Amino acid sequence: MEQITELSYALDTFYFLVSGVLVMWMAAGFAMLEAGMVRAKNTAEILTKNISLFAVACIMYMLYGYSIMYPGEAVSPWWPGIGSILGSTDNSAADVLASNGETYYSGLSDFFFQVVFVATAMSIVSGAVAERMKLWSFLLFAVVMTGFIYPMQGYWKWGGGGLDALGFLDFAGSGVVHLCGATAALAGVLLLGARKGKYRADGSINPIPGANMPLATLGTFILWMGWFGFNGGSELKVSDVAEANAVALVFVNTNMAAAGGVVAAMAVARMLFGKTDLTMALNGALAGLVAITAEPLTPAPLLATGIGAVGGVIVVFSILGLDRLKIDDPVGAISVHGVVGMWGLIAVILSNPDATLVAQLTGLGVIFAWTFVTSFIVWFVIKMVMGIRVSEEEEYEGVDLGECGMEAYPEFIGSQGSGK
Amino acid sequence: MEQITELSYALDTFYFLVSGVLVMWMAAGFAMLEAGMVRAKNTAEILTKNISLFAVACIMYMLYGYSIMYPGEAVSPWWPGIGSILGSTDNSAADVLASNGETYYSGLSDFFFQVVFVATAMSIVSGAVAERMKLWSFLLFAVVMTGFIYPMQGYWKWGGGGLDALGFLDFAGSGVVHLCGATAALAGVLLLGARKGKYRADGSINPIPGANMPLATLGTFILWMGWFGFNGGSELKVSDVAEANAVALVFVNTNMAAAGGVVAAMAVARMLFGKTDLTMALNGALAGLVAITAEPLTPAPLLATGIGAVGGVIVVFSILGLDRLKIDDPVGAISVHGVVGMWGLIAVILSNPDATLVAQLTGLGVIFAWTFVTSFIVWFVIKMVMGIRVSEEEEYEGVDLGECGMEAYPEFIGSQGSGK
Amino acid sequence: MEQITELSYALDTFYFLVSGVLVMWMAAGFAMLEAGMVRAKNTAEILTKNISLFAVACIMYMLYGYSIMYPGEAVSPWWPGIGSILGSTDNSAADVLASNGETYYSGLSDFFFQVVFVATAMSIVSGAVAERMKLWSFLLFAVVMTGFIYPMQGYWKWGGGGLDALGFLDFAGSGVVHLCGATAALAGVLLLGARKGKYRADGSINPIPGANMPLATLGTFILWMGWFGFNGGSELKVSDVAEANAVALVFVNTNMAAAGGVVAAMAVARMLFGKTDLTMALNGALAGLVAITAEPLTPAPLLATGIGAVGGVIVVFSILGLDRLKIDDPVGAISVHGVVGMWGLIAVILSNPDATLVAQLTGLGVIFAWTFVTSFIVWFVIKMVMGIRVSEEEEYEGVDLGECGMEAYPEFIGSQGSGK
C-alpha cells in the first residue's frame, strides 16, 4: 500500500517534469517565431533577448516570484520564497504517506513547472517590442515582471488569492500567463512607439515582412508541441483513471483548438487578401492554443475546435485592427496572447457550468488593470532613467550591430541590404 | 489492488500521450525537411501546406476518419465516429476495474495517438508534389485522404479488418502509414507532371538543389526523434516487465535501423558519386526508420541495423531510378516511404515467425492498389474541376508569391535570384 | 505486490527511455549549433559529420563500446558485448521479482540511454575541428573513439573500474562525457592546425563569424532541453518518493545552472566588449550546463545557479585564452566542454561531502591523460595514413563542395561570397 502511494507520487512527479520540459521548450519556440518575424538586421538581438529573458525569469522566480505566487510553498526561514526550492525541504516519504493523498508530487517538480510558465509570459513581451527596444532596458523590465508583476496576479488566481475565491476560472493561463504577458507588452509598445517607417505620413501602413518564414513556422510547431505540457501539465495529476482521462482530454482539446485556429485564420485571410498568408496560419494556430488554455478540460473536442476557430478569426481582425490604431507589434503578440486570451477567458462559460460571465470579466479586468498599470509605471521609470528606445541611427542600422556588435546572417546580406 | 490497476492505466495512458506528442512533432520534421529541400521561392507555400494539412487531418479524422478506422471505438449516438472522442464517454474507473485488464488506457489518448499518425501519412504527400501544386487543391485532397482513404485501409489492418485476419503484419505502419502516403503521392505526381526544367529535352536530368540544408537536416533529426513515439508507442502498453522490455527493444531497434540507414546510404552515395552527399545521408536515416517500422519488435538490434542498412541502399537507387522514369519527387518521399516501406513489409519475415511472404505481399498489394486507385480518382476529379497545377508563370515566379502572396526569405534573395 | 514491482520496473524503464530520447535530441542540438557557427561554405559538411557520427557511434557502441564500458552487462556467448542488447536476453519478470529491487529497469533501456551519451561525447569533437578536416578521416576517428577510447574511461568510472573505487565523483559526465570529448577534440586540433586566415602574420586574430545565429541559438535551446534527460536520467531511478524528489532537484539545478551561465557570460562579455555578444550568451548557457553535470543532485538551487555562473565566466575567458594560444576552435567546444568540464568536476566538492579534491583531480587527470594520449595517437596515425586536413584550395572553396559535392545554401550566396 505504501509502495503504491510512493509509485503514484513518482508518476505524478515525472508527469510534471515531462510537462515542464515541454513548456521550457516553448522558450525556443518563441525565440524562433520572433527571429523569423523580424528583419535580418534585428535577429541576433531578439535571440539574445529570448535566451536572456529565460535566464532572468528563472533566477528572479527562484529568488522572489515563487514565494509571492505560492506563499504556502515558501517555508525557508532565511530567505523569502526559496525555502521549498532549496532541495533540502522537499516532501519526505513519511509526510507523503501521512498526507492521505494530499501531497502527491515533488515540490521541486512544481517549482520547475511554474518557473517555465513565468518565462512564457515574459517571452510574449519580447516579440511585441522587437526591432527598436534597448536590450538592457528590456532585461530590467524582465526582472520586475518575473519577480513581481506576474507572480502577484498569479497569486490572486493560482496561489489561492481573491480572484480564485471569486470563482474566476483560468485552467492553464489564458489570463494569468497570456493576457498578462500581452498586457505588459502593450504598455511597453505604447511608450515605445512604432518602428520607423511602419506607419507612413499619408496614413498608409507599410508592411514589414519577417526575414525567415521557416524559422517562424518552426517556432509555431515548437509552441504547439510545448502546449501539450502547458495545458496537459496544468491538470497537476495523472495517476488514476479519472485524472488520466482528464489529461488525455486536455491533450486532444489543445490539439483540436490549434487545428481549428489554423483553418479559420487561413480561410479568413484568404477571403480578405485573396492569398493564403502563412503568417496568419501560424497566428491562427497560436490563437487556437491561447483560446483553449483557459478551459481545455470541459469542452468536447468539437467545441474545442470551434473555440480555437473563433480565436483564429479574432486574431486576423485584431492584427489588422491594431495596425489601424498604429500599435506596432512586429509578431502580433498582443493580438495572439492578449485579445485572444480575453476570448479564451470568456469562452470558459461555454462549457464549464461553474463559470460565470461576471467572474470571468472580473478576472480579465483585474489582470489587465494590474498588469497594465504596474507595467506602464515600470516601463516609464526605465524610460526616464535609461531610455527604452535605441537611437534612430541604430534602428536604421539594425539593433544587432548596435546592441550585440554582430550580425545574425553575416554572409547572406551585405550591409546595404537588410530590409531598410 | 484497484489502486494498482488505476495506476497502471495512468502509466499506459501517459506513455501513449508522450508518444503522441513525439509523433505530432514529426509534423514539424516534415515541414523542415520539405522546406529545406525545395527552392527558396517555394518555401512559404510548402510551410503553409504542412501546417494546414496537419490541421485538416486532425479535424477530418475527428469527424470521420477515426470512426471508419476503429468502428468499435465509435459509440456516439448522434454523430458517426466522434462518440469516443467526445470526452463524456471515456472509460469510467468502474469499467476499467471490471475489464480484467482489457481496458488499460484512456480512449482519448488512443485518439490522440492515432490522429497524429494520419497527419504523418498526409505529410508524405506534400513533399512529393512540392513546387508546382495548387495549395487549395492539395488541401481538398487532404480532406478526402485523411477522412476516408487512409482510415479505410487502416481499418483493414489495425481496426480489425480483413488484412489483419489474413495474417498480414505491420507493427507501426511501414505499409498502413508510409506506403499509403507514398502511394497517394505517386498518384498525384503522375497526374501533376514534373517541375519545369527538371528533365531536359535531351533526356538529361537537371538537379534542382534544395535551398536550405540545415533545415532539411533538422527535419530529419526531428523525424528520427519522433519515430521513437511512432514505433515505441505502437506497442500500446508499457506497464509490466514484458511490455517495458518490448518498448525498450523497439526504441533500440528503431535507433539502430536509422543508424544503419545513414551509414549504408552514405557509403553507396560515396561510391556512386565520389562525394558524400548529405541529402542521401538524410534519406538513409529516414529509409532505415521506414524499413524497421513494420517490425521493430522481433529483430535483434544487429538485424535491425541490417534491415535499416538495406533500406539505406534501396533509397539511393530508388531515387536515381525514379528520376530515370521522370517521376519528379523533390524530396524523395516516394522512395523513402513507398519503396522502402515495401522493403519494410517484406523484411518482417526475417525475424517474425508469424509472418509469411504471401500475407506480406498481399497486404502490400492491397494497400497500394486501394490507395493508388482511390487517390488517382480523387486527384483526377480535382484536376478536372479546379486544376491541380499552378500556371507556368506562377511556377516560374515561385508558388510563394502566387499562392501565399509573400516570400519565405524576402531579404536574402532578390527577385532576380531564387533558383530559376 | 508482484504487480507493484512490475509497474515500478515499467515506470523506471519508461523514464529511462524518455530521458534517452531527450539525449538523442541533443545530437540535433549539436548539429544546429555547429551549423550556425561555421561559415556557409562549410555547413553541409558539418551537418553530414553530425548525422553520420551519431550513426557510427550507435553502431560501434553496440558492437564493442557497451561491452567494454559495462562488462557486467555483456553476456553474449557469441559476440563480445552485444549479448545484453540482443533483445532475447532482457530481464525476465521472474528475475525482476526475485531480485529484491536490484533489477529495476530494462537492460535495453539502459543501452539506449548509454548509446546516446556516446554520441554526445563524439559530437563535441566535430565542432572543434570544423571547416578544415576531412570527412572520412573524422569518421574513422569516430569509430575508434566511440568503440574504444570513450568506453574505456567510461568503464573506469561508471562501469565499476578504478576511478569509481577511488571515490571520484561524476554524476552525469562533466568528465566522462564532456571533458573526454573536448580532450579528443583538443588532440585533433593540435595536429590539424588553425583555419587559414584565422591568425594573421602580425599576431592579430581575425574573427570568423558564424553564418547563421538563429540556428546556433536553436541548437543551444535543444541542448538545454536535452540536458534534462542527460542529467535527469542519470539518477537512473524515479519510482519512489526519494528518487522522484532527487530527479526533480536535478531538473531544477540543471535549469538554474544554465540560467546562471547565461547571465554571467552576458555580463562579462558586455564588460569586456561593450556589446552583448549573443554567442557568449549561448556559450554561457552551455557552460552552466556542463558545470552542473558532475553534481546536479547535492547543491541547493541557489548554489547550482552560482556553479553555472562561474562556468559562464570561465567560458568567456577560456575562449579568449585559447585564441591567444592559437588553438582554433570554431564553436568554442574545447572551452565549453573541456575547461568548464574541469570546473564542474572540481565544483562537486562544494556540495557533496563525499567528494575530495584529490579524487576529483585524479579523475580529471586520468580522463584527460588517457583521452589525450590515445586520441593523439589515433589522429596521428590517420594523419600519416590518409591525412586529416583538406587541401588549401578545398578549404578556400569550402569543404561543402569538396567533401559533399553540394552547397548548404545554394541560392543565398553566390560562389563569390561565402565568407572567404
Residue A199's DSSP bridge partners are A205
Tell which C residues from 24 to 53 touch A, by Cβ distance under 8 Å.
39-40
The answer, for B73 touching chain A at a CB cutoff of 8 Å, is no
Q: Which residues of chain B are within 8 Å of residue C54 when distances are taken between CB atoms?
A: 259, 262
In eight-state DSSP terms, residue B389 is B
User: Which chain C residues are within 8 Å of A92, Cβ to Cβ?
Assistant: 241
SS (H, E, C) B209-251: CCCCHHHHHHHHHHHHHHHHHHHHHHHCCCCCHHHHHHHHHHH
ipTM: 0.96
Q: What is the pLDDT of residues C241-266, one digit of tens each?
A: 999 999 999 999 999 999 999 999 99
DSSP lists the bridge partners of residue A133 as A389
Of all residues in chain A, the one with the smallest CA distance to B27 is A221
- Chosen for mutation from A21, A224, A251, A280 (greatest number of chain B CBs closer than 10 Å) is A251
Q: Work out the pLDDT band at C82, boundaries 50, 70, 90.
A: low
Q: What is the mean pLDDT of residues B100-124?
A: 93
% chain B with pLDDT above 70: 95
| pLDDT in the model for residue B73 | 67
Amino acid identity, position C313? V
pLDDT band of residue C195 (cuts 50, 70, 90) is: very high
Please report the pLDDT score of residue B85 as a whole number: 52
Tell me the average pLDDT across B216-244: 97
Q: What is the mean pLDDT of residues B331-345?
A: 98
A81 half-sphere exposure, CB direction, 13 A CA radius: 18
DSSP state for residue A205 in the 8-state scheme? B
CB of B298 closer than 8 Å to CB of B351 = yes
Say whether A214 and B407 touch across the interface (CB within 8 A): no
The torsion angles phi and psi of A199, rounded to 5 degrees, stand at -110, 120
Q: What is the pLDDT of residue A173?
A: 97
- Kindly state whether B4 is in contact with chain C, defined as any CB-CB distance less than 8 angstroms: yes
Q: Are B149 and B177 in contact (CB under 8 A)?
A: no
- B412: contact with C, CB 8 A cutoff: yes
Could you tell me if B405 lies within 8 Å of chain A, comparing CB atoms? yes
Output the furthest CA–CA distance in chain A (Å, rounded): 75
pLDDT tens, residue by residue, A10-47: 999 999 999 999 999 999 999 999 999 999 999 999 99
CA C248 to chain centre: 22
Q: Do A91 and C241 touch (CB under 8 A)?
A: yes
- pLDDT digits 0-9 by tens, C266-282: 999 999 999 999 999 99
Q: Give the pLDDT confidence of A139-162 residue by residue, as tens digits.
A: 999 999 999 999 999 999 999 889
Residues of chain A below pLDDT 70: 73-88, 414-420
> Tell me, what DSSP letter sits at residue C233?
G
Chains in contact with C, where contact means 3 or more Cβ–Cβ distances below 8 Å, are A, B
Tell if the CB–CB gap between A281 and B52 is shorter than 8 Å: yes
| Residue A82: per-residue pLDDT | 52
Best CA proximity match to C280, nearest among C267, C290, C291: C267
* pLDDT above 50: residue B375: yes
The number of beta carbons lying within 10 Å of the beta carbon of residue C204 is 7
Nearest to B413 among C82, C91, C412 (CB): C412
Q: Is C238 on the interface with A (CB under 8 A)?
A: yes
